[in-house]
Structure 1
């Protein structure tokens, strides 16, 4: 499945597929654009299959109804919603157009990478753990961006090696980066969700 968004200020594309042999993907994602910000999130339900999907969609439902809040507050609300569910790992990226900053909040092994317009590469170390009701100390990192900055958010179905290949391909469009990366994600060993965007 491929989804895409473009409005002249930001371009983003998404690809998602299920683990081989499963009838549904245990990941979920959410994207929204307002006049003030763009928010995207990748949520990876623990394991795979229907129970993982149920946990992931519980979190994205919270995000959908609370995207105006900070990443930390959204994750707190997701954590509450996940009590007695399988649990998820999550990355939320909020891009504030007014201050030209990217805010990154994460729990678990979903990945986030930035290729800045000046060539600098940023790959924050994820916070260990997962959401299932237990409280975590959350930290939001922020980065100033310029036009031409590329960002990526993905579940662990995209390997670390492909992260590096993505970053080296920054001069191409998000669609081309996504297509090239997905073509190398064979065989399908895990659920996969991959968002690539350019500012």
Structure 2
């Protein structure tokens, strides 16, 4: 699945694509969401503990809680997800908030999820996760700010994707091809897996 988000008056657009696979058919514990709040766009990836119906329930509840928050406040998004997950399985989560107007982003993560910033197809920095599990043990987030350029790519993955994807060049592919390649090459058949790819593109 793929799409494109643009803002009136901005010369930049955000293209995105996702690829995912469930260990248990019909019940992926990995989920994602894209939210827009004015000039800010948030991409969320969540990984419910384990697999199957209970992991799927945790991912769904966590995303529903995040959807109700202002996507410019990463702290509120994580706190809300943590509270909502107290009575079900916990989850790991990563969020990146992108501004097309300022060409900047902020991201944070809790638990075993991953993120990578690429420039010219090569790694240019990574997401720093805080330890813990939302709904079980949560001690805040560490927000990292990024200056972006046209052509930059941001990748978010769940722990079903082997971290060796970080060393693979991703230059010259469209976002759906990148997401599909990450999943097919680095996805673990023994776990739910998901890769979300975002790319900043200049329209002129």
1:194 aligns with 2:195: yes
Deviation, 1:137, is 2.7
Residue 83 of structure 1 aligns to a residue whose secondary structure is coil
Deviation, 1:105, is 1.4
TM-score by length of 1: 0.89
Which residue pairs with 2:181 in the alignment? Answer: 180
Return the structure number with greater strand share: 2
Deviation above 4 Å: which 4+ runs of structure 1?
A: 117-120
Distance 2:53 2:116 in 1: 28
TM-score by length of 2: 0.87
Query: How many residue pairs get matched?
Result: 194
Unaligned runs of at least 5 residues, structure 1: none
Q: How large is the Cα RMSD of the aligned pairs?
A: 1.9
Of 9, 12, 25 in structure 1, the residue corresponding to residue 16 of structure 2 is 12
Residues 118 and 84 of structure 1, relative CA distance in 2, 3 Å threshold: closer
Which residue pairs with 2:139 in the alignment? Answer: 136
Deviation, 1:146, is 0.9
Unaligned runs of at least 5 residues, structure 2: 7-12
Q: Does structure 1 conserve the Cα–Cα contact (< 8 Å) formed by 2:109 and 2:127? A: no
Answer with 59-68 or 109-118: which moved more. Answer: 109-118
Q: Does structure 2 conserve the Cα–Cα contact (< 8 Å) formed by 1:72 and 1:139? A: no
1:66 aligns with 2:69: yes
Answer with 176-185 or 148-157: which moved more. Answer: 176-185
Residues 170 and 72 of structure 1, relative CA distance in 2, 3 Å threshold: farther
Which residue pairs with 2:89 in the alignment? Answer: 86
